[in-house]
Amino acid sequence: MSQDDADVIVVGGGPGGAATAFHLAHHGAKVLVLEKSEYPREKVCGDGLTPRGVKQVIAMGVDVNAKGWWRNRGLRVIGGGVRLELDWPDLASFPNYGLTRTRMDFDELLVQAATDAGAELHTSTTATGPVTDDRTGRVVGVEATVGPDKQPRVYRAPIVVAADGVSGRFPLALGVTKRDDRPIGVAVRRYYRSPRHDDDYLESWLELRGRNDQSKLLPGYGWIFGMGDGRVNVGLGVLNSSVEFGKSNYREMLVDWMAATPPDWQMSEETADGPILGAALPMGFNRVPHYTRGVMLVGDSGGMVNPFNGEGIAYAMESGALAAEVAVQALAEPDLARRERALQHYPAELKARYGGYYRLGGWFVKLIGRPEIMRFATKHGMPHPTLMRFVLKLLANLTDPRGGDAMDRVINAMSRAVPAV
């Protein structure tokens, strides 16, 4: 008789953990999600979903026509004196719209879908470290503390998924650390009550200027996303390829940028809804390996944010779905050696799917970290809508793998041609 509490334990109930749990439960596995907080809870994010993210939400059976979702048609890019509206591409593989929804209840909805599918959820339960088998060296469970009194508890399962976000304490406890040679960003965001709340484009700013010195560019890139609920989500981010990374006061920069926006947008201290909060975006596989000793890393825990555009939700959910698929196959194997073999498919498949594209993304981050290159690209690229449509497809990773147009074929060929990260 097995002493296990589940077939798979998922540490963390964000989008990555929820998607993993949903797909595992759907495949008939017994899955237990350990989440340190209680829902609803805040998560610092831009709250924006491209069609890539929308596809994953739909794959979990969530009704995106219900109240609380706000649709967008594409991306508005502002820079080099040009304001360009680019609709999401028309593809067979992805919907042609994006969504916004505050993470305050987005994550809860996804976790609810997972529990509806049969996953068990333990909130106020913090994973404190792995339980390892002395004989095999494999992880066979999770040590945790439960509730406000931090009651210690041990949960056992033959496979553990670390979906614990950018801090990645669980992989860290196994010695899987961040790689300093891979991209990372830091971003801050704040909500404002603004008439721009019903914007049907996600807005991306390639150049930021403050109120006091309009001639000087602030470091980083900004966004204004309408939430459709009376608020906008406004934020800015700086990449580690910039000399300003870690040196600037990002909160002050956000306030300065907002002070320079038109008064009728009503983005000021008076309309601010909550504080400015910040967090890191771990990009381009900046924590590897994605599988070790019975543990699979999903989403931010494995540094899976897209380096081209800072999108992390879609990749957390896609990697969660893949981890679930691999885990059920591994669980069906008759012995440990075969199970191990099956689990190795997870990092190999991640590498095949994203490795080339993330290599290109790493180069992109290095290039745009140099202000003179960014200025040149903005000045000469923005006036050409066809080129910008290509850039949108590349940056948002939105192509059809088969039967796409010439742009799709170029992007897919480029991703295949370079060595995977």
Ligand X SMILES: Cc1cc2nc3c(=O)[nH]c(=O)nc-3n(C[C@H](O)[C@H](O)[C@H](O)COP(=O)(O)OP(=O)(O)OC[C@H]3O[C@@H](n4cnc5c(N)ncnc54)[C@H](O)[C@@H]3O)c2cc1C
Footprint of ligand X (CB under 6 A):
11-17, 34-37, 43-48, 53, 126-127, 163-165, 169, 187, 189, 235, 279, 281, 299-301, 305, 310-314, 316
Q: Closest residue to ligand X, Cβ-based?
A: 312
Instruction: Identify the residue whose tokens are 């916004």.
Output: 100
CB of 75 to ligand X, least distance (A): 12
CB of 214 to ligand X, least distance (A): 25
254, containing H or E segment? helix 250-259
The length of the chain, given as a count of residues: 421
Instruction: Choose between 234 and 388: whose C-beta lies nearer to ligand X.
Output: 234
For 376, residues 6+ apart whose C-beta sits below 8 A from its C-beta are: none
CB of 333 to ligand X, least distance (A): 27
Q: What sign has the CA pseudo-torsion 196, 197, 201, 204?
A: positive
Instruction: Choose between 11 and 382: whose C-beta lies nearer to ligand X.
Output: 11
CB of 174 to ligand X, least distance (A): 13
Instruction: Choose between 297 and 339: whose C-beta lies nearer to ligand X.
Output: 297
d(CA 35, CA 107): 11
Instruction: Choose between 241 and 301: whose C-beta lies nearer to ligand X.
Output: 301
129 DSSP β-pair partners = 143
CB of 6 to ligand X, least distance (A): 15
Instruction: Choose between 339 and 368: whose C-beta lies nearer to ligand X.
Output: 368
- Do 171 and 304 contact (CB within 8 A), yes or no? no
Full 3-state SS string of 41-63: CCCCCCCEECHHHHHHHHHCCCC
Instruction: Choose between 13 and 219: whose C-beta lies nearer to ligand X.
Output: 13
- Do 278 and 251 contact (CB within 8 A), yes or no? yes
CB of 77 to ligand X, least distance (A): 15
User: Helix, strand or coil for residue 218?
Assistant: strand
CB of 147 to ligand X, least distance (A): 13
Instruction: Choose between 279 and 407: whose C-beta lies nearer to ligand X.
Output: 279
d(CA 360, CA 420): 9
d(CA 110, CA 119): 12
Instruction: Choose between 203 and 300: whose C-beta lies nearer to ligand X.
Output: 300
CB of 417 to ligand X, least distance (A): 27
Instruction: Choose between 50 and 292: whose C-beta lies nearer to ligand X.
Output: 50
Q: What sign has the CA pseudo-torsion 360, 361, 362, 365?
A: positive
CB of 381 to ligand X, least distance (A): 23
Tell me the H-state helices in 2-132: 15-26, 51-59, 103-116
For 68, residues 6+ apart whose C-beta sits below 8 A from its C-beta are: 101, 105, 229
